[in-house]
Amino acid sequence: MLQNTGKLAGQTLFITGASRGIGKAIALKAAKDGANVVIAAKTAQAHPKLPGTIYTAAEESIDILVNNASAINLTGTLETPMKKVDLMLGVNLRGTYLTSKLCIPHLLKSKNPHILNLSPPLNLNPIWFKNHTAYTMAKYGMSMCVLGMAEEFRGSIAVNALWPKTAIQTAAMEMLGGAEVGKQCRNVDIMSDAAYAILGKPRSYTGNFIIDEEILKTEGIKDFDIYAVAPGNALLPDFFLDEAEALVQNMGDQVVIPVAKGDSRSAATSGPIAETFNIIKGVLNPDIVKSTGGVYKFNLSGEHAGVWFIDMKNGGGSAGSGEPPVKADVVMTMDSADFTKMFAGKLKPTMAFMSGKLMIKGDMTLAIKMEKMMSMMKSKL
């Protein structure tokens, strides 16, 4: 852990979205250093799924601005309501720009002026756009503020971005990936330590897109297990980074996995997979078929290997073992144990995909729609 040295003592930080998670951790780290912390957050009362409320503080002149507030919705263009698009652009892009604009006059008077945006490097590989264009545009908007303002105020204000190398255990991450995803995450302390390292640098340190682990290595941190939620477990790489990019690119290829030999229709008549598909058959109806419009093929390996399908495109829908009656729009390849967890609501497709437990070939928009089916099934499994 990066030790406090008191270098932020007496300075005033304005942090957005700091009632929980990373923003709160940065606020507490700075407060421990003797800084005055002003927090802006939307939550005035505790939310049952998102604990934490607004902290209040006396108005101070501002030395450091941390733009942490963010909204996320990982859906494709046709599945993202404009209300969600407006929310993400409003919070991520407009909110960051507006808060910076209003704080800059104060920052120009500071002896240690910093703007720190919690946003990623500008990785323009299409893979980071195709499945959630609206979110990527909104998040990259924060990064573009860094790119522009760092040059505009070079020599006067340090403007930088900070992004985690791995997934961080937060309420938002649990909502995306379920409770189990925490075992593949680091805790928020790595981000607060990284932010602390950045905010102690001179104003000449500007225009950087910083990864938490990389800057902490320069500060002498060698043991990163101290930040792991479950030391020893494989860590989930975060979005927009080359490591994660390579993982997703590999998963985009068709992967051949051995399946049970012989007639899979006759062989797969019992067990957890067959039971799951019996439930799926009971859930299918014309409304689901109409709203989904996709044919899914599942190549399952492991203890209950086999080929299965769900047709949510034709008639009233159908499901069973073997090849689908028509060409599949989406082919999902995974271990049979993970398949059971996924349909029981214990493993979300998005996180299974990012962690390498799920290979997807075909229409990613339809793959995301599977979550609707799973949410309907969860109470029956």
pLDDT tens sequence across 262-281:
333 333 456 888 888 888 88
User: Residue 96 is encoded by which pair of tokens?
Assistant: 């960051």
* 8 Å CB contact between 226 and 207: no
Buried residues in 53-91 as b, exposed as e (16+ CB within 10 A): eebeeeeeebbbbbbbbbbbbebbeebbeeebbebbbeb
**How many CB atoms are located within 10 Å of the residue 256 CB?**
8
Asked if the model's pLDDT at residue 372 lies above 90, the reply is no
d(CA 212, CA 216): 6
Share of the chain above pLDDT 90, in %: 46
Question: Would you please indicate which residues are annotated as catalytic (active-site) residues?
Answer: 135
pLDDT tens sequence across 312-343:
888 888 988 889 989 998 888 888 888 888 88
- Output the pLDDT for position 156: 98
List of residues 6+ apart from 62 with CB closer than 8 A: 12, 13, 14, 38, 103, 106, 107, 110
Asked if the model's pLDDT at residue 224 lies above 50, the reply is yes
- Output the pLDDT for position 226: 96
d(CA 240, CA 234): 18
pLDDT tens sequence across 16-39:
988 789 999 999 999 999 999 988
- Output the pLDDT for position 235: 82
Mean pLDDT of 78-83: 91
- Output the pLDDT for position 5: 94
d(CA 48, CA 64): 31
The more confidently predicted of residues 15 and 368 is 15
List of residues 6+ apart from 76 with CB closer than 8 A: 131, 132, 133, 364, 365, 368
Q: Which of 113, 160, 163, 166 is nearest to 139 (CA)?
A: 163
pLDDT tens sequence across 153-171:
999 999 999 999 998 988 7
Mean pLDDT of 52-67: 64
User: Residue 218 is encoded by which pair of tokens?
Assistant: 């320069």
Mean pLDDT of 143-148: 98
Task: Give the mean pLDDT of the chain.
Answer: 83
- Output the pLDDT for position 368: 65
Mean pLDDT of 1-6: 93
- Output the pLDDT for position 310: 92
Asked if the model's pLDDT at residue 178 lies above 90, the reply is no
What is the torsion angle, in degrees rounded to the nearest 10, for the CA atoms of residue 255, residue 299, residue 235 and residue 345?
Answer: 160
